Amino acid sequence: MAVKKEELIREYSKAIREGNAAVFGGAGLSRPSGFVDWKGLLRPLAEDIGLDVDKETDMLSVAQYYKNQRRTRGGINKAILDAFSMDVRTNENVKILSRLPIVTYWTTNYDELIETGIREANRNPDVKSESDQLSSMKRDRDAIVYKMHGDVNRPANAVLTKEDYELYEYRRPLFRTALKGDLVSKVFLFIGFSFEDPNLDYILGQIHSLLGENVPTHYCFFKKIQETDYSDPIEYGYCKARQDLQEENLRNYGIQTVFVDSYDEITNILREIERVSKLNKIFVSGSAQEFPAPWTKDSAERLASQLAGALVHEECRITSGFGLGIGSAVINGALDVIYSEKYRHIDEHLCLRPFPQNITDSTMRIERWRQYRESIMDETGISIYMFGNKKDDATGSMVIANGCIQEYEIAKAHNHIIIPIGSTGGAAKAIYDDVKSNIGNYPYLVDCIDQLGKETDINNIVSIVVNIVKNQTK
């Protein structure tokens, strides 16, 4: 029985947060960018030797027949270069997967889409397409891209013919070893993959023989066979039965299938995975130069400190911009729990993002701070607002901190979970009023919105906010 997309989103997002997620990209991942699949690559070669790929089921043999007849693989090398050297744009699925904080990417594709996408996401990929590259580690790498069948830039070494697969164990044994290790220790998402590759079949079979029913859980996408796509009901019945059997067989290897009605659904699911995977990363927005009654400097700092500590206790990562009057308390509260409970893993639970200072050009400062806020919101998934006031430079009177309001607007654009503690006044109250007047857009706040507006007991506020966060990250 196939699994629901909700399970995939929940479990794979959890694997991302825990650093155990991996991606395996097949030809279907590259096709939306304009690259050919296996049949498309071999079609002109098959025609040259009098074959029709649409009538063939064994593409390895087609490539082998071509090489046998020509006594050289020069034509195969040229076909790979011609097909995968095009200048194309990364597609949306690649962009999302590249932005995710995933370290391990595997692919059977020759193209450079995955590594290009990772670079465009301002991450540094370490590409492994040959066995001798596996023993070296690129400095400052953010992700490893294993190209187990080779790379377009080295077409002579690409794995394509039947002979290439037969000799794989001798020419590329370390790739099989590395993949087996990752399949045992990580949660894979297979995307654009047909599961017709002999190498993967061999590796999955070995893992299953060693672990039996204890194989780890992985996930894959399949487009559901639909009757409306077939004019012949007999052909539909056959294809549907074959897909059901394949789905059942994959379960033997721990690979759970998520069926979609259209490929567009995959993009929406990946977007939701990206959103949910950030829900343990929380930005605390707020500043205070004065404290409206009944709040005092001491009670405001205790609220910020206790809230940050409680969220870290729940395995969240706090991001702080060092807001005046609030930032230090947030940091101290987070550190207290980190040092007492989290093996001093500071970077896993606390991210300090002080704003750039000493920018004399006001226009440049405003733009730089806006960009800075954009980057913070892009890295986090929940925003909490408290207090938010400052002294007006011209009049000396206390006003709402417009930086907090800007952070709120950016957070909405990034589809954040927004939690305004309206009882603290200032920008938080203004944000609270806007949220309450549009409460239909914030269903997770319906049951507690009134409490957020009037509660001043620190323990109660912390409990309310932590419960909202926990409900979102279940």
Q: What is the pLDDT along the chain (474 residues), one digit of tens a residue?
A: 789 999 999 999 999 999 999 999 999 999 999 998 888 999 999 899 999 988 988 888 989 999 999 888 899 989 988 889 888 889 999 999 999 999 999 999 999 999 999 999 999 999 999 999 999 999 999 999 999 999 999 999 999 999 999 999 999 999 999 999 999 999 999 999 888 888 888 888 888 887 888 888 999 999 999 888 888 888 899 989 999 999 999 998 899 999 999 999 999 999 999 999 999 999 999 999 999 999 999 999 999 999 999 999 999 999 998 778 888 999 999 999 999 987 778 889 999 888 877 888 888 888 888 999 999 999 999 999 999 998 877 787 888 999 999 999 999 999 999 999 999 999 999 999 999 999 999 999 999 999 999 999 999 999 999 999 999 977
- Spatial contact of 183 and 203, defined as CB atoms under 8 Å apart: yes
Helix axes 198-211, 173-185, angle to 10 degrees: 50
- What is the predicted pLDDT for the residue at 156? 93
SS3 state of residue 197: coil
Q: Which residues are catalytic?
A: 149
State how far the Cα of 207 lies from the Cα of 219, in Å rounded to an integer: 16
The structure's pTM equals: 0.91
State how far the Cα of 148 lies from the Cα of 171, in Å rounded to an integer: 11
Tell me, what amino acid is at 343? Y
pLDDT by residue (tens digit) across 99-156? 999 999 999 999 999 999 999 999 999 999 999 999 999 999 999 999 999 999 999 9
261, 265, 270, 274 alpha-carbon torsion, rounded to 10°: -130
DSSP line for 52-66: -GGG-S-HHHHHHHH
DSSP line for 223-289: EPP-GGG-S-HHHHHHHHHHHHHHHHHHHTTTEEEEEESSTHHHHHHHHHHHHHHTTTEEEEE---S
pLDDT by residue (tens digit) across 85-115? 888 889 999 999 999 999 999 999 999 999 9
In Å, what is the CA distance from 49 to each residue of 58, 65, 72?
A: 15, 8, 14
- What is the predicted pLDDT for the residue at 366? 84
Helix axes 59-70, 74-84, angle to 10 degrees: 130
- What is the predicted pLDDT for the residue at 334? 93
- What is the predicted pLDDT for the residue at 203? 87
Closest CA to 424 of 319, 279, 323: 323
In Å, what is the CA distance from 384 to each residue of 105, 109, 306?
A: 33, 42, 14
Q: Hey, what are 68's tokens? A: 């046998």
- What is the predicted pLDDT for the residue at 365? 83
Q: Which residues of 151-165 are buried (b: 16+ CB within 10 A; e: fewer)?
A: bbeebebbbbbbebb
State how far the Cα of 386 lies from the Cα of 199, in Å rounded to an integer: 55
State how far the Cα of 9 lies from the Cα of 278, in Å rounded to an integer: 12
- Spatial contact of 472 and 315, defined as CB atoms under 8 Å apart: no
- Spatial contact of 296 and 318, defined as CB atoms under 8 Å apart: no
Q: Which residues of 29-54 are buried (b: 16+ CB within 10 A; e: fewer)?
A: bbbbbebbbbeebbbebbeeeebebe
Phi and psi at 178, nearest 5°, equal -65, -40
Instruction: Give 125's strand partners.
Output: 143
